[in-house]
Amino acid sequence: MSESISGFSKLSKSKKIDWIVNTYFSNADEAKRILEQYWHIDEKIQQLHDEFIENTISNYYLPLGVAPNFLINGKLYTIPMAIEESSVVAAASKSAKFWLDRGGFKTKVISTTKIGQVHFMYHGNKKTLESFFSYLKPLLFKDAKPITKNMEQRGGGILDIELRDKTNDIKGYYQLHASFETLNAMGANFINSCLEQFAKTFKSEALIFDAFSEEEKDIQIVMSILSNYVPDCLVRAEVSCKVEDLNEDNTISAEEFASKFIQAVNIAEVEPYRAVTHNKGIMNGIDAVVLATGNDFRAVEAGIHAYASQNGTYSSLTHAKIENGIFTFWMEIPLALGTVGGLTGLHPLVKLALELLYNPSAKELMQIVAVAGLAQNFAAIRSLTTTGIQKGHMKMHLMNILNQFGANDHEKSAIIDYFKTHTVSHSAVVEALKNLRANK
């Protein structure tokens, strides 16, 4: 059982590592070797990584892959994806190739409004508070000018500020509910800075507002923070073609495939147990591109899953239909992304990923990310309704199993060849490897 440590954050990196490996690991030298093995060979890049977060002891690598052949609004893309899960990049690439010959993906940004809130408690007369807010609103814009000046010059800034009564939920609870346009920045720091200034102005002006009683002036600001729920920062992605053009599998007709595909989506629309896994597949594509481009995948995840529950039940993010012989598969999702600020200007691989995408604007990146999610979902449903999900997934997982059991190049080649005609499972791979080694 380890003891607590005081002043850990003030220790040098080497002393932090020494304490970690000597306190928690049976083989301290081996643990230290592994941590140091993942340091970057370039000292400047390693220092950059060390300064991204606190108490850095090493780097944690994820594979960075690419999925080519994405035709989006007539423009061809190769999409970067940072992810560890087998078959995700392969599935995205397969979907991209499938739709390349069928018109590609069509996308549009519906809106880009982001939200922030000042949460406060007020127990006085509501009418007096409303009167105060009418007086206060122009001052909120004015006092935030030093923060918003540069953003406004680029065409963004504060769009509106509303007073919202939430007293039916919590006694005395109100909000300043503000909407923002942050252009190519994700905008978290900008929004939070504006909100904190709103709170300062609110408190100081309340103290001198004549219509407030002394008790009413005692307004408690609980917190000022942006929201990662952005239902008005929406992007749409879709694919469509004639039903007969869906026929690429000899085991099923185009009409039967389309029918089963739509039924699978319908099930995810009404059954939360299926919807969660269905949407997780969408996020395989979305998160991988969000991470590769230096954006906040946790914020994206939270906002999208909240959106999937907007009607009171967790439901599918994608939808499908046939009208007049045309199959259409589409999705509308909220995405708050940035192509300037944060890691986008710091991480060398993020810079490369954005250049690979022709240095997109935030709106363009929204569309690319949405397409990655739609493609991933199409690939998953296509597999589920035809061959089954495990056939392709386990073939991609085969190499992970072989690496887990230390297979050499000769063994890998022989086992891969064997499973071209056999069903892959963990136990089957272990057995085949065991037999191969025994015969050798």
**What whole-number distance in Å separates Cα of residue 330 and Cα of residue 75?**
19
> Which residue, 35, 29, 41, is CA-closest to 60?
35
Task: Check 18, 85, 269, 271 and give the catalytic one.
Answer: 85
Q: Is 70 helix (H, G, I), strand (E, B) or coil?
A: strand
**What whole-number distance in Å separates Cα of residue 342 and Cα of residue 165?**
34
Cα–Cα separations (whole angstroms), residue 380 to 80, 258, 386, 389: 19, 14, 10, 7
Task: Check 106, 119, 347, 393 and give the catalytic one.
Answer: 393
**What whole-number distance in Å separates Cα of residue 325 and Cα of residue 322?**
6
Interacting residues of 171 by C-beta distance below 8 A, sequence separation 6+: 123
Task: Check 16, 49, 260, 280 and give the catalytic one.
Answer: 280
Could you confirm whether 85 is annotated as catalytic? yes
H or E element in which residue 108 lies = strand 106-109
| Radius of gyration for the alpha carbons in the chain, expressed in angstroms and rounded | 27
Per-state percent for the chain, helix, strand, coil, to nearest 5 = 50, 20, 30
Could you confirm whether 203 is annotated as catalytic? no
Q: How many C-beta neighbours within 10 Å does residue 247 have?
A: 15
- The residues pairing with 235 across neighbouring beta strands, listed in sequence order, are 109, 333
Q: Is 39 exposed, middle or buried (0-12, 13-18, 19+ CB in 10 A)?
A: middle
> Which residue, 114, 370, 373, 111, is CA-closest to 229?
114
**What whole-number distance in Å separates Cα of residue 243 and Cα of residue 262?**
12
- The full length of the chain comes to 440
Task: Check 296, 347, 364, 397 and give the catalytic one.
Answer: 296
- Tokens coding 414: 């022989």
Could you confirm whether 280 is annotated as catalytic? yes
**What whole-number distance in Å separates Cα of residue 288 and Cα of residue 375?**
13
Could you confirm whether 422 is annotated as catalytic? no
Q: Which residues are catalytic?
A: 85, 280, 296, 393
